[in-house]
Amino acid sequence: MRHPARLLIILFLALAALVGPASAAAASVAPQAPPSPRIRGEPERGEAARPRPDETPLIRSVSLSTRRPEQGRTVEVRVVLNRPATLSGEFRDQSLRFSQNADGVWWALLAIGMPKAQAGVGLETPGGAYDVSITAASDDGETDTAERTLWVTGRSYTPIPFDPGPEKRHLLDIELRTAEATRMWEMFAQGTPDPLWQGMFWLPISAPSSGGFMVARSYPDGTTGFHEGLDYATAYGAPVRAAAHGVVALAEPLGVRGNAIYIDHGAGVFSGYFHLSQILVEPGQAVEPGQLIGRVGSTGLSTGPHLHFEIRVNGYNVSPWQWLTFEFP
Ligand SMILES: [Zn+2]
């Protein structure tokens, strides 16, 4: 019984003697390759072998403000390049719009949609894993790509019945809502490419919030939807102010939104102000944060004087609260 075991040990020692010095010699001869300049959060699928020192990739690093966002949130993508290149990126149906900050870091925003598509436009976003892909292309034809995965946290919702009453029930008509939403969606795609705002967004009204973002609602016709912004119930005629610097993209009476204003803040970001009694700005007008743009009313799908305030990123509704408490980029 002991004999074969001893033989194995001898064999092992012999092998170690053969392999050990050989690998040590190889290590001392190999060129001293510097560590890859690429910063990686975690190993990526299909990752190529470490580049040789003369082949540094265009993309030095890619980071995301979070890897585990909730539905209805804004996510910031930051990219550092080793050499000048043009950046593009995709997340589901969203084309990322990259801008460069003063430190030379490139950034773009993407929106995690709500669990359900809105009145027939946009994609619904169930919880799960989604890829963000980034491509850098240099003038001399060199390209580099990077992919990151986002894990979206899903939630279950219990819809709260919402009935605007017999006089406004016709505004819940799905065809009307879809037509209006589709027109807005087309406008969001035409926004100013470069960011126009700086810092955190301002609260557009001095009133406490009375209705939450992404609260699920069920309507009298049996359909369900999600509240797309924050509501602020307050006195009729109360001043409504621009949340950030931008250009007025829309200022007119709409069916569901009532007297509505959308401000284009650039880089795919818009803010919306609905149910106004008065509109005090015109399309094409530049606005400053805090500037008076309208007055609270109850026009459109509204049951009492309040401001509905919403933020869109790449067309999708995202949490306005995040923009009021966090600085993008
Ligand atoms: Zn609302």
Once rounded to an integer, what is the mean pLDDT over residues 179-205?
97
- Looking at the structure, do residues 288 and 182 belong to the same domain, yes or no? yes
Q: How confident is the model at residue 41 (pLDDT cuts 50, 70, 90)?
A: very low
For 266-297, b where at least 16 C-beta lie within 10 A, e where not — what string?
Answer: bbbbbbbbbbbbebebeeeeebebebebbbbb
- Looking at the structure, do residues 176 and 101 belong to the same domain, yes or no? no
- Looking at the structure, do residues 140 and 199 belong to the same domain, yes or no? no
- Looking at the structure, do residues 164 and 144 belong to the same domain, yes or no? no
Determine the structural domain holding residue 87 and report its residue range. Answer: 53-152
Structure tokens at 32: 């001293």
How close is the Cα of 228 to the center of ligand 1, in Å?
7
Question: Which of 136, 152, 168 represents a domain boundary (last residue)?
Answer: 152
How close is the Cα of 260 to the center of ligand 1, in Å?
12
**Cβ-based neighbours of 181, under 8 Å, separated by 6 or more:** 118, 119, 120, 121
Residue the block writes with tokens 């919702």: 157
How close is the Cα of 230 to the center of ligand 1, in Å?
6
- Looking at the structure, do residues 172 and 315 belong to the same domain, yes or no? yes
How close is the Cα of 93 to the center of ligand 1, in Å?
26
CATH number, domain containing residue 196: 2.70.70.10
Residue the block writes with tokens 């997340």: 91
Residue 204, in any domain of the structure: yes
Structure tokens at 272: 């919306």
Top pLDDT among 142 and 223 is at: 142
Residue 119, in any domain of the structure: yes
Once rounded to an integer, what is the mean pLDDT over residues 118-130?
91
Where is average pLDDT lowest: 1-5, 9-13, 182-186, 252-256?
9-13
- The closest of 315, 276, 308 to 292, measured between CA atoms, is 276
Q: How confident is the model at residue 119 (pLDDT cuts 50, 70, 90)?
A: confident
Helical (H) or strand (E) element with 175? helix 174-188
- Looking at the structure, do residues 225 and 313 belong to the same domain, yes or no? yes
CATH number, domain containing residue 80: 2.60.40.10
Residue 19, in any domain of the structure: no
Question: Which of 125, 152, 179 represents a domain boundary (last residue)?
Answer: 152
- Looking at the structure, do residues 229 and 279 belong to the same domain, yes or no? yes
How close is the Cα of 164 to the center of ligand 1, in Å?
12
How close is the Cα of 212 to the center of ligand 1, in Å?
8
What pTM, to 2 d.p., does this model score?
Answer: 0.83
Strand order in the sheet with 86-91: 94-96, 86-91, 128-137, 143-152
Residue 294, in any domain of the structure: yes
Cite the beta strand spans of the chain per DSSP E: 59-64, 74-81, 86-91, 94-96, 99-100, 106-111, 128-137, 143-152, 160-161, 216-218, 224-226, 230-233, 239-241, 246-254, 258-266, 269-279, 286-287, 292-296, 306-313, 316-318
Once rounded to an integer, what is the mean pLDDT over residues 73-91?
97
How close is the Cα of 308 to the center of ligand 1, in Å?
4
Distance CA 104, CA 199 (A): 18
pLDDT of residue 39: 42
pLDDT of residue 9: 46
Residue 20, in any domain of the structure: no
Question: Which of 99, 129, 152 represents a domain boundary (last residue)?
Answer: 152
Where is average pLDDT lowest: 19-23, 42-46, 114-118, 239-243?
19-23
How close is the Cα of 307 to the center of ligand 1, in Å?
7
Q: How confident is the model at residue 116 (pLDDT cuts 50, 70, 90)?
A: confident
Q: What are the tens digits of pLDDT across the range 234-274? A: 999 999 999 999 999 999 999 999 999 999 999 999 999 99
Residue 141, in any domain of the structure: yes
How close is the Cα of 25 to the center of ligand 1, in Å?
71
- Looking at the structure, do residues 178 and 96 belong to the same domain, yes or no? no
How close is the Cα of 68 to the center of ligand 1, in Å?
27
How close is the Cα of 10 to the center of ligand 1, in Å?
79
- Looking at the structure, do residues 145 and 102 belong to the same domain, yes or no? yes
Is residue 26 over pLDDT 90? Answer: no
How close is the Cα of 215 to the center of ligand 1, in Å?
10
The count of structural domains within the chain is: 2
How close is the Cα of 134 to the center of ligand 1, in Å?
35
- Looking at the structure, do residues 175 and 304 belong to the same domain, yes or no? yes
- Looking at the structure, do residues 178 and 75 belong to the same domain, yes or no? no
Q: Is the dihedral of CA 240, 244, 246, 250 positive or negative?
A: negative
The pairing of beta strand 128-137 with beta strand 143-152: antiparallel
Residue 40, in any domain of the structure: no
Residue 13, in any domain of the structure: no
How close is the Cα of 309 to the center of ligand 1, in Å?
7
- The closest of 91, 119, 299 to 223, measured between CA atoms, is 119
Q: What are the tens digits of pLDDT across the range 278-307? A: 999 999 999 999 999 999 999 999 999 999
- Looking at the structure, do residues 100 and 219 belong to the same domain, yes or no? no
Beta bridge partners of 64: 77
Residues in the chain: 329
